[in-house]
Amino acid sequence: MLFVEKDSAEKEILRFVAKFCGAEYEICENEEETIWCEKPVMKVGKNDFVASLPSILRYIAKSNGFKNLLGCKGACLKTPAEFSSRTRLIQESLTQYKTDLSKVLLGVSDLEQILSGPIVQHNIDKYQRQLLKHERELERKRDWNGELKGKQEIPLKKIPTKDLPELEHAFLEGIQLSISDLAAFLPVEKVKEKIGERDFNEKFPTVRKWFYRCTRIIQSKTINTDNSISGYDPVLLNEPIATQDFVVIARRQTPLKKISPALEKDDIKSDIHSKSSKSMIQKLELSAKVDLETVRNKLPSPDPYSHVAIPDRDKIILDGFADPAKGGLGKARTERKLLQLQNMVARLKKMDTKGKIIVDFCAGGGHLGLAAAKVCPEATIVLVETKEESLNRARSRIQEWKVTNVAICQSNLTQLNCKFDIGLAVHACGSATDQVIQMCLKWRAAFIVSPCCYGRVSDLVLPRSKEYQKRISSQESLLLAHAADITPVDESLTKTGKECMNLTDTDRKLMCEEKGYVATVYEMIPLSCSPKNNFIVAEPAN
Ligand SMILES: C[S@@+](CC[C@H](N)C(=O)[O-])C[C@H]1O[C@@H](n2cnc3c(N)ncnc32)[C@H](O)[C@@H]1O
């Protein structure tokens, strides 16, 4: 079942792609059941939902046997919009064709740029050599005089990469048709109708060619038994090699344009942990024209740290489905994760959880959420996580142990759209921790959050609290955050790192207090259970 907004672009795009894959889904425009997230949302199982256009597109292709539409290494539209310009293009710009023509026009300009730029694809030289081989064979066939016979040719393998022919950027992901092309097709068709064919062809010559190519595929496709697609006539488009899987290998006709850095493929990998080094700190000190020591001295000493009462913590037994070992961790990591969970869950147990909705944000394989489900059987736990592979580990644990009080939402945390009572997050990277806190403040929920990757913050007002804003600048706050990530062998630096971590979390705590919360920063015991061993607990004051 597909939950969509009435008359939305997403509804049209999803139906179009589903039809291409030979599937049809029941559409629901009213909320008959709790779907937890902003629409579009696909219900994929009992208490199991996939949200956002890119993730649903991936789900449709995969579950109908069209893995070949998921691009090189199956990564098409996998990276969330905040880290990938392509996902942003599909999810944010092109979906505006019903409401905001200028935004969608910008989107089509981006598409023109991508298609006029180079192909960023692993092993592309394999296809370039394939094209050369094909061209040599054609040349031989044309050579009636036998002039080529004696001609020495450099073996294909020995031709340096720089001398290989540039390939036509046939589709959005490179040389293979993917769900990105199918998702972009309808919006581009609407733009063409709105601005007229002449204007469209003049403004977007490369998109025009792409559009013509996609139209031919969509009109003529017949699906083979193995779900590859045939019926595409490469001769009509003068494309020398077109395989059944819609890999088009053709020599680039138009000169290559330099692609704008904003459109580079998947700019930042979403799961890189920031590793601040001594030199990074020195660079930041130079640009902020201040040293770390001075910044630390400008701030009040952090509160003495609180610890959860030890007997409570040790009594928490997380065997069965909540055992981290069942979530695919190795022995050493399981032991450490168990200690992290015991610390956080012991504090959760002190809250009123009966009948409450608890959200585990950035849930990964669901360690914390499943532990919460175990110790709070009368609460409903929602796991929110973008990565399908991680959630699959949680899914199989839930299934195997027949857990009934957990729902899954494969979604960006900012798309959660339901009132909840308690937010949890263990090691949500960088600004994800701050986004979790903002969501909890928005719904006036209590929270228990253990931050990670302190320096990996973007699009954030720094420092966070008014108290810190009076004392340090934004650059100084960033310096502090990067220093919090230093956990090298050098003892003195580790100590500094821990102190900066404490100062940064005190900033978070003060911000919550300014918003009417009672907040405390706790330390996990033993500290060795993680280099990121702080957690913040906050509850609405009244
Ligand atoms: C370091 S892992 C921690 C996973 C889990 N909490 C644990 O401790 O095992 C961080 C997780 O946050 C997820 N994540 C990051 N940003 C997210 C966002 N905006 N929305 C949902 N999940 C996100 C990542 O996919 C990753 O699985």
Residue 345 makes CB contacts below 8 A (sequence gap 6+) with 316, 318, 368, 371, 372, 375
Please tell me the predicted confidence (pLDDT) of residue 289. Answer: 75
Return the ligand 1 atom nearest residue 365 CA.
Answer: 9
Kind of pairing between the strands at 41-45 and 48-51: antiparallel
Phi, psi of 417 (to 5 degrees): -140, 60
* DSSP helix/strand/coil, 433: helix
228 alpha carbon – ligand 1 mean position (Å): 34
Q: Which residue, 455, 454, 451, 457, is CA-closest to 427?
A: 451
Kind of pairing between the strands at 357-361 and 380-385: parallel
Q: Is 385 in the pocket of ligand 1 (CB under 6 A)?
A: yes
The one-letter amino acid code at 146 reads G
Check residue 68 and report its DSSP letter. Answer: G
Q: Is 370 in the pocket of ligand 1 (CB under 6 A)?
A: no
Tell me the sheet residues that pair with 167.
251
27 alpha carbon – ligand 1 mean position (Å): 30
Please tell me the predicted confidence (pLDDT) of residue 268. Answer: 41
The one-letter amino acid code at 259 reads I
CA dihedral 208, 214, 219, 221 (to 10 degrees): 160
- DSSP-based helix, strand, coil % in the chain, nearest 5: 50, 15, 40
Return the ligand 1 atom nearest residue 82 CA.
Answer: 19
Please tell me the predicted confidence (pLDDT) of residue 274. Answer: 43
Distance of CA 247 to CAs 125, 176, 241, Å? 14, 4, 8
Please tell me the predicted confidence (pLDDT) of residue 33. Answer: 82
Superfamily the domain 302-462+515-540 falls into: Vaccinia Virus protein VP39 (3.40.50.150)
Kind of pairing between the strands at 380-385 and 406-410: parallel
CB 521 within 8 A of CB 450: no
Return the ligand 1 atom nearest residue 452 CA.
Answer: 1
Q: Is 217 in the pocket of ligand 1 (CB under 6 A)?
A: no
User: Can you tell me the distance from the alpha carbon of 535 to that of 344, in angstroms, rounded to the nearest whole number?
Assistant: 8
Q: Which residue, 297, 301, 288, is CA-closest to 479?
A: 288
Residue 146 makes CB contacts below 8 A (sequence gap 6+) with none
Q: Is 451 in the pocket of ligand 1 (CB under 6 A)?
A: no
Peptide bond before 205: cis, by omega within 30 degrees of 0? no
Return the ligand 1 atom nearest residue 367 CA.
Answer: 9
The one-letter amino acid code at 244 reads Q
Q: Where are the domains of the chain?
A: 94-263, 302-462+515-540
**Candidate from 362, 368, 453, 533 with most ligand 1 atoms within 8 A of CB, to mutate:** 362
Q: Please give the structure tokens belonging to residue 326.
A: 């069942």
Name the closest-CA residue to atom 7, ligand 1.
Answer: 364
Residue 20 makes CB contacts below 8 A (sequence gap 6+) with 182, 218, 221
User: Can you tell me the distance from the alpha carbon of 519 to that of 513, in angstroms, rounded to the nearest whole number?
Assistant: 6
**Candidate from 49, 55, 385 with most ligand 1 atoms within 8 A of CB, to mutate:** 385
CB 504 within 8 A of CB 454: yes
Q: Is 532 in the pocket of ligand 1 (CB under 6 A)?
A: no
Per-residue pLDDT 10s for the chain (542 aa) are 999 999 999 999 999 999 999 999 999 988 778 889 999 999 999 999 999 999 999 999 999 999 989 988 899 999 888 888 999 999 999 999 999 999 999 999 999 999 999 988 888 888 889 888 888 888 877 776 666 565 667 788 888 888 888 898 999 999 999 999 999 999 999 999 999 999 999 999 999 999 998 988 887 765 556 656 555 555 555 666 666 677 888 888 887 887 776 665 554 443 334 455 667 777 777 777 778 889 999 998 877 678 887 778 778 888 888 888 887 788 888 999 999 999 999 999 999 999 999 999 999 999 999 999 999 999 999 999 999 999 999 999 999 999 999 999 999 999 999 999 999 999 998 899 999 999 999 999 999 999 999 998 877 899 999 999 999 999 999 999 998 988 654 555 678 888 999 999 999 999 999 999 999 999 999 988 999 999 999 999 97
Phi-psi region of 118 (alpha: psi -120 to 50; beta: other; left: phi over 0): beta
Kind of pairing between the strands at 222-223 and 229-230: antiparallel
User: Can you tell me the distance from the alpha carbon of 57 to that of 42, in angstroms, rounded to the nearest whole number?
Assistant: 10
Q: What is the pTM of this model?
A: 0.88
Please tell me the predicted confidence (pLDDT) of residue 427. Answer: 96
Opening angle at CA 435, ends 384 and 503, nearest 5: 125
**Candidate from 78, 318, 326, 386 with most ligand 1 atoms within 8 A of CB, to mutate:** 386
